Structure 1
Amino acid sequence: MLGGAALLTWLGSWWMARLVGAAAASDDAGLPVPVVLALVDAALAAGLDVSSALARTADAADARSAGPLRALAAAHAYGGTAAELDGPLVRALARPLALAQAAGAPAGHGLRAAMVRLDRESRREAARSAGELGVRLALPLALCLLPAFALAGVLPLIVAVVAGADLGSLEVPELGAP
């Protein structure tokens, strides 16, 4: 019984660790886009032009964000557009920067609005993912850990109670006997 309980406990723990590990690995995407937008906004607020702000932010960002930032900086430096570039970071930056350039206004308000929207979306996605993970973790709990508890805790108790009760010595009175 204890060997089966130990095996089920190990299997349930291993299964749950794999589920949690897979959820954590899918979240490893480098700097979040709102953080990069905040860095670009800070560089613009410091007085840098758009292409310089993007290039300086690329110098400070991780490798995953630096490439799109440098490409977007080159496009702005040479008067090009970001139409040929793609990715969540480029999509988040392109619209506020293009609107600011077309209107001749500072890009800070558009970048801050994009930061708020993306932060809200990422929080919503994190809450949804956490809920899904909780549902997925119920399966190893129900199939492995609860049966292990029953084998190690409940079944020995039942065996002890049944073995301790002297069921053979009970006399059954006959019908009609006083």
Structure 2
Amino acid sequence: MPGSRRRCCSIGGSPGWRRGRCGRCGIGCGPICRPAADLFAACLLAGSSPVEAAEAVAHAVGGPLAARLRPIVASLRLGGDPSRCWLGLADDPVLAPLGRTLARAATGGAPAAGAVARMADEQRAERRRAATSAARRVGVRATVPLGLCFLPAFLLVGVVPIVIGLTTTLLRPF
């Protein structure tokens, strides 16, 4: 998108998605793009219908997520069976939980806002756990280069002069 600010355009289901990065824009994405999950939950908690929430998310996030949501929104607006339409997301492993949640809400009449908000919270917690784990790994990985740099320096500055001083003192003839 030339001229627009960079934003996540994928949710992880695009063909180029690898290691938590969007194949199109290179910005890190979660299983369902964090802003998209939060936006979907916020729309539902504000009283929007799932169709309106999906339409708002598709418009705001764009990219492959919009490509997946727009046909579902269109079929729902034309009077399609909500549970069948939302289960259309089940073939995508990333969007399957969202599709099942919205289909269950459409079939049973349970409010979807709480379930989608919990999904967003779980994704935030998972992202936090991954960041904490990565920070711990950095600390462990930093000890090797520090040890390789400081140990020789310590030996050259601290130990070698003492050894040289002792050997010259001991090897001097009386």
Q: TM-score, normalised on structure 2? A: 0.60
For 2:104, the equivalent position in structure 1 comes to 99
The runs of 5 or more residues in structure 2 that have no matched partner are 1-18, 22-26
For 2:29, the equivalent position in structure 1 comes to 30
For 2:10, the equivalent position in structure 1 comes to none
For 1:150, the equivalent position in structure 2 comes to 151
Q: TM-score, normalised on structure 1? A: 0.59
Distance, in Å, in 2 between the alignment partners of 1:83 and 1:66 is 12
The runs of 5 or more residues in structure 1 that have no matched partner are 1-24, 172-178
CA deviation after TM superposition for structure 1 residue 94, in Å: 1.0
1:24-62 Cα distance to aligned partner (Å, 9 max, x none): x75643365453222113223444432232121111115
CA deviation after TM superposition for structure 1 residue 147, in Å: 3.0
Distance, in Å, in 2 between the alignment partners of 1:114 and 1:92 is 8
CA deviation after TM superposition for structure 1 residue 101, in Å: 0.6
Q: Which has the higher contact order (CA 8 A, sep 6+)?
A: 1
Mapped contact 2:41–2:120 kept (Cα < 8 A): no
Of all paired residues, the percent bearing the same amino acid is: 27
Question: Highest CA radius of gyration, 1 or 2?
Answer: 1
Aligned length: 142
Name whichever structure is richer in helix by fraction. Answer: 1
Distance, in Å, in 1 between the alignment partners of 2:75 and 2:132 is 36
Distance, in Å, in 2 between the alignment partners of 1:37 and 1:101 is 19
- Match runs of 1:38-117 below 5 Å: 38-61=38-61, 63-74=63-74, 76-78=76-78, 79=80, 80=85, 81-83=87-89, 85-88=91-94, 90-117=95-122
Distance, in Å, in 2 between the alignment partners of 1:38 and 1:47 is 14
Distance, in Å, in 1 between the alignment partners of 2:65 and 2:159 is 61
SS of alignment partner, residue 82 of structure 1:
helix
For 2:24, the equivalent position in structure 1 comes to none
Q: 1:61 to 1:147 in 2, by over 3 A?
A: same
1:83-107 Cα distance to aligned partner (Å, 9 max, x none): 564042x223212211111123432
1:74-133 Cα distance to aligned partner (Å, 9 max, x none): 454452332564042x22321221111112343212212322333333333443444445
SS of alignment partner, residue 88 of structure 2:
coil
- Counterpart residue type for residue 158 of structure 1: V
- Counterpart residue type for residue 42 of structure 1: A
For 2:11, the equivalent position in structure 1 comes to none
Q: Over the residues paired in the alignment, what is the CA RMSD in angstroms?
A: 3.2
For 1:161, the equivalent position in structure 2 comes to 162
Mapped contact 1:50–1:73 kept (Cα < 8 A): no
SS of alignment partner, residue 150 of structure 1:
helix
Mapped contact 1:30–1:62 kept (Cα < 8 A): no
